[in-house]
């Protein structure tokens, strides 16, 4: 009978989470590299180049691929002949591994879990608890599959119960465009079909743990209806023209995964969950022989991408900008920003709005007049870093605050990722402001442009506190110009059906 020791289990979980924080899976790198070389949209190609360059930097520096180091999801298959040398529960064992990984002194990972989920929403400080799913199976081993799932992609999960005669393809093709770009494509789509409401969602999540093999499936052809559906959806989703970061292009998904389960005769449950460019998952087996050792990939697995941030980009001094300058910027134009900007996410925006509504002054140093705000919650720095990985968060969460921020603070620009909604775009147009995007999934690359950082306000918010960054040649793109034209609308429209596959 196999004996699983407490320390072996905890150490393996912790080491796995550290490993996936800075190493992309090899299958993802291969698929993204192939998509990069095939891409014909300049904007999408540039975004994929940044993701690949960032990935190599993270592998070399062993720092997180994305500032959102995810909520931890663990699927365990525990052999019924296993004995445990521990007084802890399975949940407590997993959480101990998570705690150790996220508080690692050489590579601290950003803690994002809050409790309770409504009301105070206080950060737990160590990214626990994990989401744990346990299945008892025959045997004398413990199979572990885990993922660190970013909030931007998790927030785009969708579910429906269709009529049994409904078209699964039609539902997916109607749903994917509603996701926007906040899930940081190109990535994977996990789809669960059948079972019950909760089972379909679980199938969709579990499907994302499988390796990318679409190229192999296309080469050999479908062997069953599920594979036929995968191929159909892969082609038709990419024909939507959404593209990398939603900028328009040939590749939106690198693979479509589907798991199924028998269901009630009156029902057809379907769940869809995307996985972002920061694809992080791993599986291993504990057999009682000790903790698992993970072999680092070879740097030769990463392509040598000749990406030049300055090529064709306009250099901008943030400290000398006027609204007249903003009016000359065009959607899709690449910029290199230098100077000072402030940071702030949901919680900071909420507090600013509350102060404005009470006609109270903003905290000292929070002067947004004629300035830019960057939607970011960075990872803590280590060694000689100014700041840890500091990529953008999804901007649409700030849409509800945008009109008042532009009206009452003198703010002239915002930096985030993904599209803006109609309310925000109208406010941007009305006030002659702009919205810029940095590439989601290129957090370590962006952090290299940050030359100084100081805490300004709301220190209790942790990673959501307001900071002042001094940046030098920070790569961004104009997503919404001062006239309200959005590249997230014009880009996909240009590339829709470019592949020759018609989507109706």
pLDDT 10s per residue in the chain (504 long)?
Answer: 799 999 999 999 999 999 999 999 999 999 999 999 999 999 999 999 999 999 999 999 999 999 999 999 999 999 999 999 999 999 999 999 999 999 999 999 999 999 999 999 999 999 999 999 999 999 999 999 999 999 999 999 999 999 999 999 999 999 999 999 999 999 999 999 999 999 999 999 999 999 999 999 999 999 999 999 999 999 999 999 999 999 999 999 999 999 999 999 999 999 999 999 999 999 999 999 999 999 999 999 999 898 999 999 999 999 999 999 999 999 999 999 999 999 999 999 999 999 999 999 999 999 999 999 999 999 999 999 999 999 999 999 999 999 999 999 999 999 999 999 999 999 999 999 999 999 999 999 999 999 999 999 999 998 899 999 999 999 999 999 999 999 999 999 999 978 667 776
Contact 486, 480 (CB under 8 A): yes
Q: How far apart are CA 249 and CA 251, in angstroms?
A: 6
Strands (E), 208-328: 253-263, 268-275, 281-286, 314-317
User: What's the Rg (C-alpha) of the chain?
Assistant: 23
Structure tokens at 184: 């940081």
Contact 61, 277 (CB under 8 A): no
Order of strands across the sheet with 187-195? 158-162, 268-275, 187-195, 253-263
pLDDT at 26: 94
Q: State whether residue 33 is helix, strand or coil.
A: helix
pTM for the model stands at: 0.94
Question: To the nearest 5 percent, what fractions of the chain are helix, strand and coil?
Answer: 35, 25, 40
Q: How far apart are CA 256 and CA 202, in angstroms?
A: 16
Q: How far apart are CA 192 and CA 170, in angstroms?
A: 15
DSSP 285: E
Contact 145, 283 (CB under 8 A): yes
The label of the residue with tokens 């109609």 reads 422
Q: How far apart are CA 13 and CA 56, in angstroms?
A: 24
Contact 129, 113 (CB under 8 A): yes
Q: How far apart are CA 68 and CA 261, in angstroms?
A: 32
Q: How far apart are CA 302 and CA 57, in angstroms?
A: 10
pLDDT at 280: 96
User: Which is it for strands 413-416 and 372-374: parallel, antiparallel or unpaired?
Assistant: parallel
pLDDT at 499: 67
* All domains in the chain, ordered by first residue: 1-149+296-307 (no CATH), 151-277 (no CATH), 314-491 (3.20.130.10)
Q: Which of 376, 365, 371 is nearest to 464 (CA)?
A: 376
pLDDT at 498: 80
Whole-number Cα distances in Å, 143 to 12, 79, 82, 87, 138: 12, 8, 11, 20, 12
3-state SS, 354-369, equals: HHHHCCCCCCCCCCCC
């Amino acid at each position: 009978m196999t004996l699983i020791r407490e320390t072996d289990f905890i150490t393996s979980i912790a080491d796995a989470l550290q490993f996936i924080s800075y190493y992309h899976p090899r299958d993802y790198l291969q698929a993204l590299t192939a998509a990069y070389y095939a891409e014909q949209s300049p904007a999408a190609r540039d975004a994929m180049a940044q993701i690949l360059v960032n990935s190599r930097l993270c592998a070399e520096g062993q720092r997180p691929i994305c500032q959102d180091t995810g909520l931890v999801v663990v699927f365990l298959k525990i052999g019924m002949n296993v004995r445990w040398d521990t007084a802890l529960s399975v949940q407590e064992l997993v959480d101990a591994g998570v705690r150790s990984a996220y508080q690692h002194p050489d590579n601290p990972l950003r803690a994002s879990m809050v409790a309770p989920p409504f009301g105070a929403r206080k950060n737990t400080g160590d990214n626990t608890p994990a989401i744990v799913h346990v299945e008892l199976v025959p045997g004398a081993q413990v199979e572990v599959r885990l993922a660190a799932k970013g909030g931007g992609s998790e927030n785009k999960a969708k579910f429906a119960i269709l009529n049994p005669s409904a078209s699964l393809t039609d539902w997916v093709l109607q749903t994917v465009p509603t996701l926007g770009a906040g899930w940081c494509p190109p990535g994977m789509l996990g789809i669960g079909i059948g079972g019950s409401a909760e089972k379909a969602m679980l199938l969709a999540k579990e499907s994302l743990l499988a390796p990318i093999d679409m190229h192999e499936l296309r080469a050999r052809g479908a062997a069953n209806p599920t594979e036929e559906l995968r191929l159909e959806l892969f082609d038709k989703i990419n024909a939507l023209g959404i593209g990398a970061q939603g900028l328009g292009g040939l590749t939106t998904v690198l693979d479509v995964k589907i798991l199924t389960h028998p269901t009630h005769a009156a029902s057809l449950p379907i769940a869809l969950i995307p996985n972002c460019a920061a694809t992080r998952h791993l599986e291993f087996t504990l057999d009682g022989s000790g903790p698992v050792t993970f072999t680092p990939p070879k740097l030769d697995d990463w392509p040598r991408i000749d990406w030049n941030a300055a090529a064709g980009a306009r250099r901008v001094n943030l400290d000398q900008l006027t609204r007249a300058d903003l009016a000359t910027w065009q959607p899709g134009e690449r910029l290199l920003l230098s100077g000072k900007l402030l940071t702030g996410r949901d919680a900071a925006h909420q507090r600013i709005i509350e102060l404005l509504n009470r006609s109270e002054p903003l905290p000292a140093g929070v002067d947004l007049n004629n300035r830019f705000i960057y939607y970011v919650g960075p990872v803590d720095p280590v060694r000689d870093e100014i700041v840890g990985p500091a990529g953008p968060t999804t901007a649409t969460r700030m849409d509800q605050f945008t009109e008042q921020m532009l009206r009452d603070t003198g703010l002239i620009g915002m930096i985030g990722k993904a599209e803006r909604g109609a309310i925000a775009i109208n406010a941007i147009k009305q006030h002659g402001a702009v919205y810029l995007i940095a590439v989601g999934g290129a957090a370590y690359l962006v952090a290299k442009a940050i030359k100084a950082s100081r805490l300004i306000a709301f220190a209790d918010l942790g990673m959501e506190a307001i900071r002042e960054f001094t940046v030098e040649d920070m790569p961004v793109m104009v997503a919404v110009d001062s006239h309200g034209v959005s590249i997230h609308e014009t880009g996909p429209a240009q590339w829709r059906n470019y592949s020759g596959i018609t989507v109706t």
